[in-house]
């Protein structure tokens, strides 16, 4: 049984525990960290979501993401999810922005990292992802193999691209 801390809409942790799979009570939110991964050559890591995922199955998304475990901070969750879903261990993580998605009662903190290692060292987390690819920035907003990329936060991607161009 996976448990989460509950938050209010302002990202304040509350004294309430949520359980994965159970409805989140009105007025409460759970936390999710997202990590956009860019290689030092400028390409972005895209992970293909497992076909059995409840939300957005079979979609390509940049980097890694996941719910925070009980007692975990957003930054701790970002490092953990990145390692679990990709096998990557990084020493840099830049906060990009917060986002509240009321429909799913989810609070997001979005981070970006630049990976300096071997691009073939990616590992797949069974049940979460089933494939990966590195793509150039100009391909991020185009369909590939008749599939669309799930780019929930295009402004974050565009900011990562601008930083590399400077």
| Mean pLDDT within 69-81 | 97
- Please report, rounded to a whole number, the percentage of residues in the chain having pLDDT higher than 90: 63
| Residue 65 predicted with pLDDT over 60 | yes
How many angstroms from the chain centroid is the CA of residue 147? 19
pLDDT higher at 53 or 144: 53
For residue 112, the model assigns a pLDDT of 93
Helix (H, G, I), strand (E, B) or coil at 108: strand
- Please report, rounded to a whole number, the percentage of residues in the chain having pLDDT higher than 70: 89
Residue found under tokens 């590399």: 164
Q: Are 154 and 78 in contact (CB under 8 A)?
A: no
| Residue 52 predicted with pLDDT over 70 | yes
* pLDDT single digits (tens) 33-44: 999 999 999 999
* pLDDT single digits (tens) 84-135: 999 999 998 999 999 988 888 999 999 999 999 999 999 998 988 999 999 8
Q: Are 98 and 34 in contact (CB under 8 A)?
A: no
pLDDT higher at 101 or 4: 4
| Residues in contact with 113: Cβ distance below 8 Å, sequence separation at least 6, in sequence order | 35, 36, 37, 38, 63, 82, 90, 92, 93, 94
| Mean pLDDT within 52-78 | 91
Q: What residues form DSSP beta bridges with 107?
A: 31, 100
* pLDDT single digits (tens) 139-162: 876 655 555 666 666 777 777 777
For residue 6, the model assigns a pLDDT of 98
How many angstroms from the chain centroid is the CA of residue 7? 18
Q: Are 47 and 61 in contact (CB under 8 A)?
A: yes
Q: Could you tell me which of 61, 43, 55 has the C-alpha nearest to residue 135?
A: 43
| Residues in contact with 140: Cβ distance below 8 Å, sequence separation at least 6, in sequence order | 44, 62, 149, 151, 157
* Tally of domains within the chain: 1
pTM of the entire predicted model = 0.88
Q: Are 132 and 46 in contact (CB under 8 A)?
A: yes
| Residues in contact with 144: Cβ distance below 8 Å, sequence separation at least 6, in sequence order | 60, 135
Q: What is the CATH number of the domain that holds 19?
A: 3.90.79.10
**Rounded CA separation 100/152 (Å):** 12
For residue 166, the model assigns a pLDDT of 54
The boundaries of the domain holding residue 65 are 3-165
């Amino acid at each position: 049984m996976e448990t989460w801390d509950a938050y209010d809409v302002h990202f304040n942790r509350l004294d309430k525990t949520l359980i994965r799979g159970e409805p989140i009570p009105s007025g409460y939110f759970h936390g999710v960290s997202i990590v956009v991964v860019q290689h030092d050559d400028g390409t972005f890591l895209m992970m293909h979501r497992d076909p059995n995922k409840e939300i957005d199955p079979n979609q390509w998304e940049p980097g890694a993401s996941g719910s925070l475990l009980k007692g975990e901070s957003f930054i701790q969750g970002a490092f953990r999810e990145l390692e679990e879903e990709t096998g990557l261990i990084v020493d840099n993580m830049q906060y990009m922005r917060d986002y509240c998605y009321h429909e799913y009662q989810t609070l997001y903190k979005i981070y970006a990292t630049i990976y300096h290692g071997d691009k073939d060292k990616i590992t797949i987390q069974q049940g979460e992802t089933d494939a990966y690819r590195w793509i150039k920035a100009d391909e991020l907003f185009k369909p590939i193999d008749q599939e669309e990329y799930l780019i929930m936060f295009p402004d974050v991607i565009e900011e990562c691209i601008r930083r590399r161009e400077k």
